[in-house]
Amino acid sequence: MKTRLASLALLATSVAALTAFSASAGESVRPILDKFPGRQAYHAVTDRIVKARKPGAAITSWNGSFTDHHNSKRTFVMIGTDPTNTNTNTTIPFEVVPVIFTYPSFNKMKFNPKKDTYSDGETVLQNFLNSPLINTDIDFKSGGVDFGNSQYIDAFQRGTFYGNNVQNESNYHVVLGSPTVLKPLKIKVQAGQGVVETNPFGSQKIGTYGFGAMDSQINTYIQNHAAVTPDQFVFFISHNIFLTSGGCCIGGYHYSTGSSPTSQSYGYTTLVTEAGSFSQDVSAASHEIGEWMDDPFPGNNVVGCQDNSWLEVGDPLEGRANFGGFPYKDHGFTYNLQDLVYTPYFGMPDSNSVGKLKSFNQLEANYCPGQ
């Protein structure tokens, strides 16, 4: 999620545009994680539906604040419980929706995460479900501190508040629950809505689809599926699909139907099976889930940075080598998890994070521009 001026200039277009994009047509090509859709009328419709579906349901969240380097008070909302005064394990109900894309104008080519496989034969969906974003096989460390076997985003969150009481609270965790895989969202991409072409970051075939159209499809799905409620996080995944908005390529985003914990938070990512590509395996997914954890209702967590207007923990690092990803081997597969910045990057006191670090894997060592 970003508000960088360069990104906004690059992506300036109607979010409802369905114009096909071809990287080979001389259009701009830049890896983007990611873009906010802006408030649309259908968000309010979805918000009313999910609130009526389960009255009073709210995702577990807490409110905090800090004074940045310019003596400005910054407030925020994050998923979980307040690490400064709780020592509890929060499990967020987690729903996964595979998204199947079919391109009738391109020999009916289909991108199906339930059937498409990596080189080792594992399906894209199963590879995601086996990843360190969901299982706890990996013993994560940051700044020399051992966080034990945990999910990646849980370890990151413990690291960002380690100096703010988490070091004394061994039971503090925020994790995604055992995933419930819902019925797939099926999208038939008609002529003019997207193309099949060679991956601009590799050699496999990828499909494109409009960013605004994708967000509309996701909201329609949520409106029509009673299993999705505001106390859960619902995550849509595709295989080898890049979203477009005035250029390519958007690998994922997260958003919410409103600005409160009773609104529905959701995310989308594509899982690219080609090693070394932008959005390879779960690199974009780690970005989106990490940013959802620390900024679940975009627009609430305003910070005083020139590269980010909101507290988005993945954006500052996506332009680094390997798109900010670090390799972790699990289940015989090498996953790429994006490094994420700790809260001191945004001007919170250095003592807040483990070892006064600026990011989990120490890719960032400075404050954000403007702090």
pLDDT at 3 exceeding the cut of 80: no
pLDDT(25) > 60 = no
Q: How far is CA 37 from the centre of its chain?
A: 14
pLDDT band, very low/low/confident/very high, at 50 (cuts 50, 70, 90): very high
Cα separation, 282 vs 271, in Å, equals 6
Average pLDDT of the residues in 201-211: 97
Residue that wins the pLDDT comparison between 18 and 355: 355
- What type of residue sits at position 231? D
In the predicted model, is pLDDT for residue 24 greater than 50?
A: no
- Quick check: 208 and 21 in contact, CB under 8 A? yes
**pLDDT value at residue 31:** 84
Span 321-362, pLDDT tens digits = 999 999 999 989 999 999 999 999 999 999 999 999 999 999
- For 74-95, what is the mean pLDDT? 97
The reported pLDDT for the residue numbered 29 is: 82
Whether 233 contacts 93, CB under 8 Å: yes
pLDDT tens, position by position, 304-317: 999 889 999 999 99
Summarised one tens digit per residue, pLDDT across range 88-145 is 999 999 999 999 999 999 999 999 999 999 999 999 999 999 999 999 999 999 999 9
Instruction: Look at residues 237, 291, 288, 229 and name the one whose alpha carbon lies nearest to residue 261.
Output: 229
What average pLDDT does range 26-30 have in this prediction? 69
Which positions ≥6 away from 226 have C-beta within 8 Å?
53
282-304 pLDDT per residue, tens: 999 999 999 999 999 998 999 99
The model's pLDDT over 215-270, given as tens digits with 9 standing for 90+, comes to 999 999 999 999 999 999 999 999 999 999 989 999 999 999 999 999 999 999 99
Instruction: Work out the pLDDT band at 27, boundaries 50, 70, 90.
Output: low
Query: What's the predicted TM-score (pTM) here?
Result: 0.92
Reported as a pLDDT band with limits 50, 70 and 90, residue 15 is very low
Give the relative orientation of helices 283-294 and 152-160 as an angle to the nearest 10 degrees.
40
pLDDT attached to residue 37: 87
d(CA 154, CA 43): 29
DSSP tag of 336 = E
Q: What's the one-letter identity of residue 367? A: Y
CB 154 within 8 A of CB 173: yes
Q: Would you say 339 and 359 are in contact if contact means Cβ atoms under 8 Å apart?
A: yes
21-35, 108-122, 171-185: least confidently modelled range: 21-35
20 CB neighbour count, 10 Å cutoff: 18
DSSP state of 103: E
* 276 Cβ contact partners less than 8 Å away, ≥ 6 residues apart: 201, 202, 322
DSSP annotation of 299 reads: T
**Greater pLDDT, 23 or 67:** 67
